[in-house]
């Protein structure tokens, strides 16, 4: 009879061992790349909204301007309020390959805006790439 409690105690002690430690490895954030395209007209502007899932870096780059890839346009990042892009950072001297860098402080809907800053002589097609988390 003394043997039974000793075996029970040994079984309980074995159950509390650290031999089976499990480690949780956090999933690294995945960067998302989105492409937006359109045409900005004389004295016009166009905004594109996008959703970020977490805080992190946001970059916007002009990847194409046609028919004249040497034109200057406005490029801005901001927050989307449901109807308009509320600009946070802007570059009114953006050209082909210009990169704008911002930071999302958390999940939400942001926007990128392309505009004529008085330098276009004709409607200009553009393409943008936005990278975010």
- CATH number of 104's domain: 2.60.120.380
Rounded to an integer, what distance in angstroms lies between the CA atom of residue 101 and that of residue 87?
13
- Tens of pLDDT, residues 66-112: 999 999 999 999 999 999 999 999 999 999 999 999 999 999 999 99
Total structural domains within the chain = 1
Is 1 within the bounds of a domain?
no
Contact 10, 17 (CB under 8 A): no
pLDDT at 70: 96
The dihedrals phi and psi of 4, each to the nearest 5 degrees, come to -60, -50
DSSP codes, 37-50:
EEEEPTT-EEEEEE
Is 70 within the bounds of a domain?
yes
Domain residue limits at 49: 31-132
Q: Which residue is it, tokens 């990128």?
A: 112
Is 85 within the bounds of a domain?
yes
- Tens of pLDDT, residues 116-125: 999 999 999 9
Is 110 within the bounds of a domain?
yes
- Is the pLDDT at 22 greater than 80, yes or no? no
Span 5-32, average pLDDT: 63
The structure tokens listed for 49 are 């909204």
- % of the chain beyond a pLDDT of 70: 85
Is 78 within the bounds of a domain?
yes
Is 37 within the bounds of a domain?
yes
Q: What is the DSSP letter of 5?
A: H
Is 2 within the bounds of a domain?
no
Is 83 within the bounds of a domain?
yes
Rounded to an integer, what distance in angstroms lies between the CA atom of residue 52 and that of residue 41?
28
């Amino acid at each position: 009879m003394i043997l039974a409690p000793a075996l029970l105690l040994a079984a309980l002690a074995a159950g509390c061992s650290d031999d089976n430690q499990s480690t949780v490895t956090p999933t690294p954030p995945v960067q998302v790349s989105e492409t937006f395209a359109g045409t900005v007209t004389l004295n016009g502007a166009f905004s594109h909204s996008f959703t970020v899932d977490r805080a992190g870096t946001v970059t916007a780059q002009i990847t194409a301007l046609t028919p004249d890839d040497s034109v200057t346009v406005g490029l801005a990042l901001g927050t989307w309020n449901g109807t308009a892009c509320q600009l946070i950072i802007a570059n009114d001297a953006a050209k082909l390959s210009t990169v704008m860098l911002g930071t999302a402080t958390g999940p939400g809907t942001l926007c990128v805006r392309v505009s004529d800053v008085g330098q276009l002589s004709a409607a200009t097609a553009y393409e943008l790439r936005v990278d975010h988390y």
